[in-house]
Amino acid sequence: MKKIGAEAAKVLEEIFEDKDQSFELNGQKYKIVAIDHKDNETTVAEDVEKDQKLKRKLLQAKKDIKEGNSYTSEEMREMIRRGQV
């Protein structure tokens, strides 16, 4: 990670304050993204509500476990070794 000086930090802070983290340098457009910003993290429940495919998969897995349609890791490895999967 590159460290920046005080003057560059001040320019970056001004960019952030504008609520538009994009800028242009030598004719090339750039966008600044915070890589460890906690506000963008979501909970599993939020992810499931947003992604219907994920929700269906998790509900099916829950149903399979409840009905006994599941295998242990060792059982699955054995099935793979035998060519059953």
At residue 68, what are phi and psi to the nearest 5 degrees? Answer: 80, 15
> 38: which residues sit within 8 A by CB, 6+ positions away?
none
Please state, in angstroms and rounded to a whole number, the distance separating the CA atoms of residues 43 and 49: 10
pTM above 0.75, yes or no: no
Helix (H, G, I), strand (E, B) or coil at 84: coil
Taking only the tens place, the pLDDT of each residue in 28-61 is: 998 887 776 566 678 889 899 999 999 999 999 9
Helix (H, G, I), strand (E, B) or coil at 43: coil
Q: Which H or E element spans position 47? A: helix 44-50
Taking only the tens place, the pLDDT of each residue in 68-77 is: 999 999 999 9
The pLDDT of residue 16 is 81
The pLDDT of residue 59 is 95
